[in-house]
Amino acid sequence: MNEKPDEPRGPDRSHRRPDGATDTTVKALGALSEALETVERARGSLYAFHQLTGGADLKLDEALEHLRAGGHHAQADRLQHDIVGRNVIPGHWTFEIVEEYNTHYYRPFADAEARIRRELLEGREHVYEAEMKEARRTPGQTP
């Protein structure tokens, strides 16, 4: 269906570039947003590491049970002593690594991105992407 001349063009109001925002500013915030998205992915990987490591530690209970049922008490005792509940880095379990990452990197990064967006784009998100959508949209397609 063809667009009508009186239909609004461009991003919706919440994604529209504020007055005075330059191309360079919009590109900068697009790159900052992409960097934060990468940090979000890294954080997700850290949570996966946390859950996988915890799951492996719990799975050791099954291994210990089978070792003991098979009469391998010395090996089970050594495995339980050396590995079960072990710190993944000195003094830390995985949840503590996640907490430190959140406190010392993720939250400050997310806060900085939000602050700069408020200061330069009136808090609007994905302005760069919204403009890219408009530039790449197939003519005549539903907005």
Q: Determine the 3-state secondary structure of 20 from DSSP.
A: coil
- Residue labelled with tokens 């339980």: 80
Q: How far apart are CA 133 and CA 117, in angstroms?
A: 20
Q: Over the stretch 74-107, which tens digit does the pLDDT of each residue have?
A: 999 999 999 999 999 999 999 999 999 999 999 9
Residue 139 lies in a domain: no
Residue 138 lies in a domain: no
String of DSSP letters for 26-79: HHHHHHHHHHHHHHHHHHHHHHHHHHHHHHHHHHHHHHHHHHHHTT-HHHHHHH
Residue 131 lies in a domain: no
Structural domain that includes position 92: 19-121
Q: At what angle do helices 73-82 and 23-69 cross, to 10 degrees?
A: 150
Q: Which whole number is the average pLDDT over 44-73?
A: 97
pLDDT for the residue numbered 136: 86
Work out how many domains the chain is built from and give that number.
1
pLDDT(8) > 90:
no
pLDDT for the residue numbered 86: 94
Q: At what angle do helices 127-136 and 23-69 cross, to 10 degrees?
A: 100
User: Is there a contact between 75 and 67 (Cβ–Cβ < 8 Å)?
Assistant: yes
pLDDT for the residue numbered 108: 98
Task: Pull the structure tokens for residue 80.
Answer: 């339980």
Residue 14 lies in a domain: no
Q: How far apart are CA 14 and CA 10, in angstroms?
A: 11
Q: Letter for the amino acid at 38?
A: T
Residue 81 lies in a domain: yes
Phi–psi pair at 45, nearest 5 degrees: -65, -35
pLDDT for the residue numbered 45: 98
**Least confident interval from 7-21, 30-44, 92-106, 114-128:** 7-21
Grade residue 143 by pLDDT with cuts at 50, 70 and 90.
Answer: low
Residue 85 lies in a domain: yes
Residue 128 lies in a domain: no
Residue 27 lies in a domain: yes
